[in-house]
Structure 1
Amino acid sequence: MKKKLAFISAGLGNISRGFEISAATWVEELKQLPQFDVRLFSGAKYQDATPVWNLPRNGNVAKLLRKINFIKDGCRLERITYGLGFLSHVLTYRPDVIWLQEGTIGDILLSFRKVFGLSYKLVFCDGAPIGYHLAKQFDYLIFLHDYAREEALLAGADLEKCIVIPHLSLFPTTEIDKTTAKASLGLNPQKLVIICVAAWNKHHKRVDYLLRETAKLGPDVTLLLCGQEEKESDELKAEAAQLGLDVQWRTLNQKELSVAYRAADFFVLPSLHEGLGVVLIEAGAHSLPIISHPHQGARYILGENYFGLADLSEEGNFARQAQALLQRGPLPEQGAETFEIIDSKFNKKILIERFVKFIDMICKK
């Protein structure tokens, strides 16, 4: 009998980020395996996923409740209502294992299991992360890098219930060359193209810092910002215009994003904290040199001594690191070095095999 695996994400379809897309990426691969009946449950229409009723974070109800100061953030509203909406699917599908990464929904599913006498196992992927003190209530824990698992083990986690499995990442879907890729995106072929794949905000992704730093590199630079609008986006666009920057603001699907990586000369992620930073893997898989703050995710992905790690909390450090990168040698050669690091650690086949063994172990208990 096939094992029933439910992958759930309240934000999938309501918002487009790596955090949400990771669920869809796993399902895309696992549904090809004969031993699983895998289903994806989204917060809104998304490819072949089953939508679950909810009040989306950017919907009219959430906007009204924010306006009257009843809520500050629509995410919790979205997740609570999604959790309630998921009950009918739990009762009809009866999954053996539920994979999730939103703790609020996990709390609701724990209650459902107790009230309705259900037997599903909850596998919590701590991608935000929320930390072990909150995640320990779930049956099994997936961490995205070794540092997070070690912290959990030091806090008392059961080794048999914890595993490190990074998200599957976007590897090249096209062999398009850089010149053609730049032309397809309408980019100036004479300019250095720096790509950043992140939501357009200040509080986490620190796009404002990146704009100020890019301005220090001179006029012959295009900043390719691939992400999506957030509350701070208009302010950021105004700042870019004031600085006189050539910024391309693009919201792309996965295939288009692969072309954007191919068009770039190097990649930067200016955030100071990430659950993992899967875009670092994607950039390296597309043979791009990378500049990143040395947070745990970056050190796990690229290695402690990677040449592109720099303290991006300091003003001027990105600009200095970018200049050092350009002086270090040809960018394609540095990109090839980065690809070797990524390919050795994040090979899709190895990660899928690790995940399958973990699910087999869970289902046997």
Structure 2
Amino acid sequence: MQLAPDIERRLERIGWRTQVLPSDVPAEWLVARVVVQHRAGYQLHDGDTLFNAQPAARFLKRDIDPTERPAVGDFVMFVPGAPPVIERILPRRTELRRGAAGENHQRQIIAANVDAVFVLNGLDGDFNPARIERYLLMIQSSGALPIVVLTKADRASDADDIFAELRQRVPPPLEMFAVNAKSADSVAPLVAYLGLGQTAVLVGSSGVGKSTLTNTLLGHERMATATVREHDSRGRHTTTHRALIQLPSGGCLIDTPGMREVKLTGEEELDRSQFADIDELASSCRFGDCGHVSEPGCAVRAALSDGSLDPARWQNYLKLRGELVAAADALEAQLRRKGENRVLTKSLGKRLHEK
């Protein structure tokens, strides 16, 4: 099933890319994009109109994988009505996930169908290279392009030095920009990623300037902003839910609440991330099971000694590697339990039917 050209042009305003729709959908089903998700339901946009909608009953089942529910950025097919009902999620071209907060080891969709992820970190007391590396690892398997945006460049007298220091930990070709989020001229390089049909999402902790940047890209103040605490430069949550916004440049921007916890899903791969060089270095040790502590011929210890490997970067690599192993093990155990529960439920149902 192919959409009419005029409908595709309309949907392009909210980031649509031409794709063939499923052939089994009823003719009365329509396409829109999820722009807001909240407890009472969803808000959709069809390129012309913003309206409320409810998910079909199967999306509300308690045992459903959260990643199988509609998320901000999704293109969905809905049935018109009062209210409209979301019936199907169209295939996602990209999917930004994190591990859900808590101990349930579930995955959570941050945003779907995004082309770029702007990782914001302030050039103030909250500057944290390790947190940036964590975000980049989370983005690595999403299919989207990561871009580091260092905000509050107007407040940091040593912005150039910090930028150069971070570049040692985050080498090219990854793009990095230092900006004043209140200045349209300063953030102009980001507009190149926000043209017609393009979507970007903002991630970062509270107080880094996500809402300020959104307002500047919009050209007017729409998102609430707040000052940060002086003693640690951390902010309060001024954005309370994810929301997709259309920009004058033709693209779309998804603003997100500040993340207190950036939890790995267990699906990330360190040897394909910004740590690929460390992973390769570790594999060149004399012994395959080198613990990188006191073994002879350890390439990692040699690199730490001669200064070619940053000790802070190495420690963060070890921390993330440990978390990644634990998350992968927890995810595998959860999937195994789900499989066992499914078998038990089928067996119980069969016995009851026979009885």
TM-score, L = length of structure 1: 0.30
Higher relative contact order (CA 8 A, sep 6+): 2
More strand by share: 2
TM-score, L = length of structure 2: 0.31
More helix by share: 1
